[in-house]
């Protein structure tokens, strides 16, 4: 029997292809990803605003978190599929995170990729980082009633 994908799966595939075309090309490797992650989290640890938040969440031993982030960014940048976590659920548990923290996170990330990566690669990292930050910020803080003042709160 011939399997014909339903309309929804064809649409998902089309959207996936369109999204991949819209993203800057990926010109990185695992070594560069590790350098970005290690440098970035070094900056996070030293940051007066974000350092204490991460310290409370991660604790004293950052190495397991760094390895998880190697996997995450490998999956994001190289589509390696190594990361198996659920970042939204993890971040939803962090009650001290505020929307403005994402701006600082992005500023530190931008400084890191600009220092480590060539221009096009830094841009590719940043496009993805901004999408991730926007997604987390929206998932954690979006208030439909605030977005639509005519909507009644439950």
Sort 38 into a burial class: Cβ within 10 Å, 0-12 / 13-18 / 19+.
middle
Cβ proximity of 133 and 102 under 8 Å? yes
Confirm whether 3 is domain-assigned. no
* 152 within domain boundaries: no
Query: Which of 62, 63, 61, 44 is closest to 53 using CA atoms?
Result: 44
Instruction: State which residues form the domain around 50.
Output: 27-141
CA distance 11 to 69: 31
**pLDDT per residue over 91-130, tens digit each?**
878 888 999 999 999 999 999 999 999 889 999 999 999 9
DSSP 50: T
Q: How far apart are alpha carbons 127 and 121 in whole angstroms?
A: 10
Q: What is the pLDDT of residues 8-33, one digit of tens each?
A: 444 455 555 555 555 555 679 999 99
Identify the CA nearest to 128 among candidates 113, 116, 138, 142: 113
Candidates 38, 32, 44, 33; CA nearest to 105 is: 44
Examine residue 63 and state whether it is found in any structural domain, yes or no: yes
State the CATH number of the domain containing residue 62: 1.10.490.10
pLDDT at 91 (0 to 100): 81
Is 146 domain-assigned? no
Task: Give a yes or no: residue 61 inside a domain.
Answer: yes
If one counts the domains in the chain, the total is: 1
Binding site, by residue number, is 65
Q: How confident is the model at residue 144 (pLDDT cuts 50, 70, 90)?
A: confident
Q: Indicate the DSSP class of residue 25.
A: P
Q: Residue ranges for the binding site for heme? A: 65
pLDDT digits (tens, 9 = 90+) for 40-81: 999 999 999 999 999 999 999 999 999 999 999 999 999 999
Report pLDDT for 11: 45
Q: For the whole model, what pTM was predicted?
A: 0.77
Q: Residue 109 domain-assigned?
A: yes
* In-domain check, residue 58: yes
């Amino acid at each position: 029997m011939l399997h014909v994908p339903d309309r929804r799966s064809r649409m998902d595939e089309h959207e996936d292809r369109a999204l991949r075309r819209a993203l800057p090309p990926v010109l990185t490797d695992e070594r560069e990803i590790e350098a970005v992650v290690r440098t970035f989290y070094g900056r996070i640890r030293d940051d007066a605003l974000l350092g204490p938040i991460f310290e409370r969440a991660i604790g004293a031993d950052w190495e397991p978190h760094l390895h998880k982030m190697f996997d995450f960014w490998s999956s994001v940048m190289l589509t390696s599929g190594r990361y198996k976590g659920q970042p939204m659920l993890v971040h939803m548990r962090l009650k001290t995170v505020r929307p403005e923290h994402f701006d600082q996170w992005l500023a530190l990330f931008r400084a890191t990729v600009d220092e480590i990566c060539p221009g096009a690669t830094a841009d590719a990292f940043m496009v993805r980082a901004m999408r991730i930050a926007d997604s987390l910020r929206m998932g954690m803080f979006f208030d439909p009633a605030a977005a639509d003042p005519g909507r009644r709160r439950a």
